[in-house]
Structure 1
Amino acid sequence: MKDFEAERERIRKSPPPELVAEAAANPGGSVAPIDSDYIGHPDGFIPGEAIQGIWLVDADGNLTGEFEENPNYGPPKDEFAKLTEPDHWLGWLGEDPAKAVRDAIANCLHQQAPNAVLEWAKIREDSRFFTGGRPSRDDENVMLVTRAGLAVSFALSVT
């Protein structure tokens, strides 16, 4: 992980114009420097780990000089909680549903570009589930799954 203490001190003494402009546009709020090494496109999805921390802004839109580090700053990691947290049966995906979905995404990418490497994937919104079935002929208290589906909104980084 990078050491930003010297950079923070430089910004405290002489803030870059773009940081000053963002502060002026966010009085009473904060501005966040983003590490471009961790994002693929400046107008795209920004993983939380790419945010170095936040500079606090006073009520007049001036930087206060106070910086709060992001404890999660660093290389982005997979995030599949929005898939696995809901109380929905995902047995059809095996013992590790997150791994099954990640592997399916990686396989799809690999089919399009054989050298593609999935660096990270994050489920961005609550997943949508569909499970259908019919009663067992042998035991009406048992439901046999006949179809299952899953829709997820995700962001990823691939090389």
Structure 2
Amino acid sequence: MSQIRRFEREAHLGSGAALFDRAGDQLMDWQMHRRAGFVVVADGPATPGRTVTLRSRTGPGAWLRLAAPCEVTEVTDRPDARGFTYRALPGHPERGWERFLVRRDPATDAVSLTITAESAHATLLARLGAPVARAEQDRLTRRYLAALRPVGHSS
């Protein structure tokens, strides 16, 4: 049995209602995943019960032709937060869940993306290549965090 890994990462995207709306829309329609280097197979935006299959265009997942099927389990749609949680389905190299949340602080107007996840290796390949699998997960998380930033914004 592999060890469960929990983490939370956050990126400041900028500020303002327009950025919040744009980032929230792009998150919900899988653009963040596409910009992070995934081929996304889904029948529509993130909604509870929606399944999505992700295939990496870069990194080890691309040359191993790994598919990562997930199911959206929860959606957040509030004036100050938009996002979703999905869980790994059988066939995914990891088991667990991941939450993506774009938030706008009403006091400061700051917009951020928070990613929270809990996972463990689900396949023999992931367990055998644990250091590579964790490094790839970290690389993809960094790409997610960068994917919703406006062009020219790097903080």
Q: Which has the higher contact order (CA 8 A, sep 6+)?
A: 2
Task: Give TM-score, length-normalised by structure 1.
Answer: 0.23
More strand by share: 2
Larger Rg: 1
